[in-house]
Structure 1
């Protein structure tokens, strides 16, 4: 064993110990109360261990022989460190993670588990069904099962298939390592419309990496070794397969409609259909990508029959199956039809433009001490770098007129065209911040192309006698971007957002308030009513159809909150629930911008307001005019 090998193994050992210590430290320091920032509340030992593990794993993965045991261990160490950061709420013992939509999705999952709601009557039952499956198999509460799905299982799929897709496109030995480090940035997560917590659109976006890899692998036949190509089992091994992927040695003799003869084709059909049940909107985006690739393949077969691209297996069947499942499933739901109609109407009606929304939020950011350029850099700085790299690779391919080795780059570039077009349409409409959801989707292929660009750049430098310099530049760039990406995975004051921590006391406090409330007395709360907790406790479907919960969405007007004149404002009796999360968000993060500290203090002295229930971090007040 050489000295270099010993150093690599010692580095892996040190990194593994560091990661183990980090995981144990996180597990042994559970959140005792609401945490405004998961980053600040997590012990420094955790961050030190994760950083050491990631750094040692990355350096060894870049220097060890590809596909060796040492390389595989290094890749596993990088993936483990990344998942530790993404799954930190689970490790830190959070009761739940995701105070908004996520609680409603758990409410649906609880109804499905109890047999009170048929998943086929839900527009996107995929994540909910997975939650129920994990909960039953592991015998854990639905809150924990849901976090396992959103914070571990689906991010793992993203981490696995982004580097595989990058390797397929770049066709260079180090592409997988580069792809893994790019995937670890989780560029699609922007915490505006794509989130780490349970949010089916976000989970579908991350799963797109799996679908895109399968699509590219199917076209080239990369996974179907031994079918019609004896060279796939030749002594050249993986090098031949990489060359085949880049060069496009597909099976031109097979029928373009025959997909059941390959395992990859069958798997892609099933996965394409399944994504509809995770989130139909994202499934339609996938269909647009597949349709664009299929169109390129059709044109290549018709007008460039001698090119390797024309010999690839086409995606006609998969595109047709995906669209068929989408149109068979989605129109059954009024919500889907309403979303489509609303987007069309927003194009022709006046309303707040994207520029107006940005200006408004920029003004709010300035008040709390931030700025739009600063926030953009924090949320989208890494995405901008990756976009530039992807654009460079597409530009090189275009300059070379997409020769055979650029075929897969051309596919991904073609797939981006219709999705970017939809993004621009939504951006021009008055559809809120929906365009950030399309941005997240676009960032999946952009991440793959960026990784392929870096891998090819490193390979280009190696062929010109600058292997070490090229590798050093790539490593330094990716390791420099890693902490920038890591601190933006979870919402925190760093990006002017509170962590989406839900404590056990908060769930219990709302549950007690609902159980012992007077019939007919409405609720109200800071920035909105208790609807998410109503969804969780009563079941989301019941809450939205038959429950008629009083004050389901009612918010305390900011002016009333600041003045404390509740009896004049409400007239009828009201329950008001204040949580530690409300106080930390409004006072600790936003400095009392809309809800000042004096407003929280006034509840103890305001006329007609009585403190009727308290628990750790949850206080329930009742407002009655006759008590004033």
Structure 2
């Protein structure tokens, strides 16, 4: 796409090969030491933060490895740059793998527990993997169970890591095909380590299939770019297929099996490229795009595959109905939700501005850099060659419908809007490599090339720290970690096994039915206990008055409270919804009997109002 003015030869390496080898050895040694230290300090009880729960020495070791990786990715090329990128990618993978390394029993509340239940159903023969709408992650967890004898809970955590790794590999590979410039590849690798698609609003680092699918998207984008950029020199497959067109189909179908919503976005991306090609073929007789193979067939085939897969599924139809209803509902939308969250943050001493800086400053900075680059590319003020401009044009045009979908989601179902943002940031992560490399090249005209690289290292390194410290939920973003220790599982399992039939379970701010999914499966919801089938949350106002039975309609019920609940309601939310004094009062109420208790779980039998 473009080349730096400095000739990339072995003589222009920033330091001699021997010194680099010693530096890389120190980086990998630091990485190994960090992993060993983390492994030697397993989590024995609930941790509200992966970050504070992990020993400080681990973070020092990882920081050293990442510092070496960032520097090598920016100033080296060839084999040395590849080693630096490998060091950084492995370190980030280790950070994402900390729940596995440190022996977490499971990680993820909400949807993750339902995915655990589906995986349990597959393992126990209650259902086939093909019966799920998106079975890839569950199937991976099952494979680890059957082939490795790994517990289902831990197998799913391994599946999380397996689906994450392609993101770190294929972002720089895509930029290499897109650009051919070593600096752009190195920058793209560093930006990928920030894991910008995870926003902890609707995309999460955990067993969350929609989020897991985001890490497979770069494989599809790589396949598309490879199909456009490379000309297949080997004999074509039957039906006129080339190896790269087959790669487009296989990667897209894999994405569909991880989660179909991201497959929709992939189809939109491919269709946007196809649309641009169609217009160019209609209007121009001589254009670089005319030399590239078209994506019309791929668009049709992938759209048909998704349509056939989706329209037969009731959950998909319900989601579409909810989305359309949300757009026309006056009280539904992103603005109302933001106002509500802003008010709650103010009441506990936070602010939306503070939260935005913590969670989105790095993403905003990268988005701004890419936006400026695309603007300059449109007006022809970049060093892109003809083919490079055509490829960037495809990405630019594709962002228009993807952004339009974000706005529609924002009006209808704000949670889906932030999932859409996750996909957009996969695309922006790829473009950031080319954009920032151009910026470094421009800066080097005013300062030396080493000076420009040093500035880039400081800025990107700072964004990397900010990005990695918000990959997992933690109190720093007013969201406690979703660690589920074994004691919590045991408490819930014992309570559900020994609880009275038809007596509902209630929680403070968290409906216990998700734990029932994870423990007993949920095939057709036939395996759910009668109690959790009627479960729900307590009324905060009544609970805070000390009226524990009235908080659940004056009915007999079990109140289940985990360390996660206590941390969220009393430490993070600071009693905004449920007051800690009311919770402590349970121990002295004559109608509340604590029937199960361990380090991470308590269950109380609450007598209804009729029994008082």
Shared fold by TM > 0.5?
yes
How far apart are the structure 1 equivalents of 2:249 and 2:313? 24
Give the secondary structure class of the aligned counterpart of 2:43.
coil
How much has 1:143 moved relative to structure 2? 1.0
Q: Contact between 1:62 and 1:177, CA under 8 Å: does it hold in 2?
A: yes
Note the aligned Cα RMSD (angstroms): 2.2
Q: Contact between 1:170 and 1:455, CA under 8 Å: does it hold in 2?
A: no
How far apart are the structure 1 equivalents of 2:578 and 2:522? 29
Map 1:549-564; keep pairs closer than 5 Å: 549-550=531-532, 552-564=534-546
How much has 1:416 moved relative to structure 2? 1.1
Residue 438 (structure 1) aligned to one of 414, 420, 424: 420
What is the count of residue pairs matched by the alignment? 595
Map 1:443-458; keep pairs closer than 5 Å: 443-458=425-440
How much has 1:171 moved relative to structure 2? 2.7
Counterparts in 2 of 1:548 and 1:296: CA distance versus 1, 3 Å: farther
- Give the match for residue 125 of structure 1: 135
How far apart are the structure 1 equivalents of 2:380 and 2:279? 19
Counterparts in 2 of 1:143 and 1:351: CA distance versus 1, 3 Å: same
How much has 1:63 moved relative to structure 2? 3.0
Measured against aligned partners, the alpha-carbon deviations of 1:390-446 in whole angstroms (never above 9, x if no partner) come to 1122112111198432111111111111111111112223x2422111111111111
Out of 471-480 and 324-333, give the one that drifted further. 471-480
Residue 42 (structure 1) aligned to one of 54, 78, 84: 54
Give the secondary structure class of the aligned counterpart of 1:116.
coil
How far apart are the structure 1 equivalents of 2:134 and 2:46? 30
Q: Contact between 2:193 and 2:464, CA under 8 Å: does it hold in 1?
A: yes
Counterparts in 2 of 1:464 and 1:614: CA distance versus 1, 3 Å: closer
Measured against aligned partners, the alpha-carbon deviations of 1:562-594 in whole angstroms (never above 9, x if no partner) come to 122123444332111111221121112121111
Asked if 1:268 corresponds to 2:230, the answer is no
Asked if 1:330 corresponds to 2:310, the answer is yes
Measured against aligned partners, the alpha-carbon deviations of 1:204-239 in whole angstroms (never above 9, x if no partner) come to 1221111111111111116x4x459xxxxxxxxxxx
Measured against aligned partners, the alpha-carbon deviations of 1:289-347 in whole angstroms (never above 9, x if no partner) come to 11010011112222223211111111122211211111111111111111112211222
Give the secondary structure class of the aligned counterpart of 2:191.
helix
How far apart are the structure 1 equivalents of 2:120 and 2:478? 32
- Give the match for residue 288 of structure 1: 268
- Give the match for residue 78 of structure 2: 67
Counterparts in 2 of 1:568 and 1:357: CA distance versus 1, 3 Å: closer
How far apart are the structure 1 equivalents of 2:252 and 2:561? 44
TM-score normalised by structure 2 residue count: 0.93
Give the secondary structure class of the aligned counterpart of 2:415.
coil
How far apart are the structure 2 equivalents of 1:260 and 1:269? 14
TM-score normalised by structure 1 residue count: 0.90
Out of 473-482 and 560-569, give the one that drifted further. 560-569
- Give the match for residue 199 of structure 1: 208
How much has 1:89 moved relative to structure 2? 1.1
How far apart are the structure 1 equivalents of 2:564 and 2:327? 37
Q: Give the 4+ runs in structure 1 shifted more than 6 A.
A: none
- Give the match for residue 5 of structure 2: none
Counterparts in 2 of 1:334 and 1:542: CA distance versus 1, 3 Å: closer
- Give the match for residue 28 of structure 2: 16
Give the secondary structure class of the aligned counterpart of 1:451.
helix
How far apart are the structure 1 equivalents of 2:360 and 2:576? 25
Q: Contact between 1:193 and 1:436, CA under 8 Å: does it hold in 2?
A: yes
Q: Contact between 1:166 and 1:452, CA under 8 Å: does it hold in 2?
A: yes
How much has 1:627 moved relative to structure 2? 6.4
Structure 2: gaps spanning 5 or more residues: 1-9
- Give the match for residue 407 of structure 1: 390
How much has 1:534 moved relative to structure 2? 0.6
